[in-house]
């Protein structure tokens, strides 16, 4: 499943939720947590349920709901969403904020089962406990993606956020390593200044270098930059094709290593070439699907 870009949309804004799939995001996340003030939680739950249960709402994108963090709060979220037997809202995944253990993910999955719902869980890693437990969280059966939340993590550990991001770099790397070790998607943190397109492009490029599969967005204007960032450029594609063609010829000749433009190619570079080709394929398919 393609998850290059995940767009948060407030759960108490029905007009924004209806339009969110038109942004080009691979995943739209209807937010019942941080984007909704405490006094509007009940209203937001009902609003999200109405949008998801509307027969006319059938986007091609993945639809996720960010639940509230505590078990009592997300039980209220799920009751509002799935407690109406006459209506089954369209929902593809849920996001668990402040995930800090495998048990937390398993408990959420168990609560979903009470409503006869089985959907992937995006575990949002945004605390010191969550970062240290990231490998265990990724190993939970219901976990399908780890999502790195740098802003809340910095607040949790008392770090000062900088554009360089060195204060959260270890955590950022640990999350992507944990996801890779357990075959989960890894989704990178957001850029809060949605008008700074240059920084977003740089952050997206760095996330790809680290091994992330996608990135969070808080505004539709960020989606194109993120999606474009995950599409390899012509030089990368040319290099990857040359490497994979060289691999085909080397295999036919019984050679283990080979050379491309003066560079000795070994298994890690072959795997990199395959990842570039896969990113290119995904970008083409999404572009084709979006054409009328």
What's the confidence (pLDDT) of residue 155? 97
Pick from 52, 224, 163, 14: nearest CA to 215: 224
Read off the pLDDT of residues 110-147 as tens digits, 9 standing for 90 and up: 999 999 999 999 999 999 999 999 999 999 999 999 99
What gap in Å lies between CA 55 and CA 102, rounded to an integer? 35
- Alpha-carbon distances of 164 from 66, 116, 177, rounded to whole Å: 28, 44, 20
Matching CATH number, 5-230, of 1.20.144.10, 3.40.50.720, 3.20.20.60, 2.60.40.3140: 3.20.20.60
pTM: 0.88
Q: Indicate the pLDDT class of residue 266, thresholds 50, 70 and 90.
A: confident
175-195: buried (b, 16+ CB within 10 Å) or exposed (e) per residue?
bbbbbbebebbbbbbbbeeee
From the CA atom positions of the chain, what is the Rg in Å? 20
The alpha carbon of 10 is separated from its chain's Cα centroid by a whole number of angstroms, namely 17
Read off the pLDDT of residues 39-82 as tens digits, 9 standing for 90 and up: 999 999 999 999 999 999 989 899 999 999 999 999 999 999 99
Helical (H) or strand (E) element with 214: strand 214-217
Domain ranges of the chain: 5-230, 234-290
What gap in Å lies between CA 67 and CA 57, rounded to an integer? 20
The DSSP bridge partners found for residue 65 are 30, 94
Among positive and negative, which fits the CA dihedral 192, 194, 196, 202?
positive
In this model, does residue 279 exceed pLDDT 80? Answer: no
């Amino acid at each position: 499943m393609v998850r290059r870009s995940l767009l948060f949309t407030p759960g108490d804004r029905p007009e924004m939720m209806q339009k969110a799939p038109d942004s080009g995001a691979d995943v739209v996340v209807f937010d019942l947590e941080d984007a909704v003030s405490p006094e509007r939680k009940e209203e937001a739950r009902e609003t999200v349920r109405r949008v998801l249960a509307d027969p006319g709402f059938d986007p091609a994108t993945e639809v996720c709901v960010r639940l509230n963090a505590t078990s009592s709060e997300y039980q209220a979220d799920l009751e509002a969403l799935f407690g109406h037997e006459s209506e089954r809202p369209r929902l593809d995944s849920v996001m668990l904020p402040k995930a800090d253990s495998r048990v937390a993910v398993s408990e959420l999955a168990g609560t979903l089962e009470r409503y006869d719902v089985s959907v992937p869980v995006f575990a949002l890693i945004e605390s010191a406990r969550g970062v240290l437990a990231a490998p265990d969280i990724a190993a939970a059966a219901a976990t399908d993606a780890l999502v790195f939340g740098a802003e809340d993590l910095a607040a949790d550990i008392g770090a000062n956020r900088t554009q360089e991001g060195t204060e959260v770099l270890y955590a950022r790397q640990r999350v992507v390593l944990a996801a890779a070790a357990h075959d989960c998607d890894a989704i990178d943190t957001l850029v809060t200044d949605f008008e700074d397109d240059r920084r977003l492009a740089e952050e997206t490029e760095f996330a790809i270098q680290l091994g992330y599969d996608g990135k969070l967005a808080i505004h539709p204007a960020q989606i194109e930059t993120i999606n474009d960032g995950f599409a390899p450029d012509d030089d990368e594609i040319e290099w990857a094709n040359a490497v994979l063609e060289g691999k085909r010829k080397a295999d036919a000749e019984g050679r283990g290593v080979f050379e491309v433009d003066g560079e000795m190619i070994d298994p890690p570079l072959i795997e990199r070439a395959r990842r570039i080709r896969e990113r290119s394929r995904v970008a083409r398919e999404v572009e084709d699907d979006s054409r009328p």
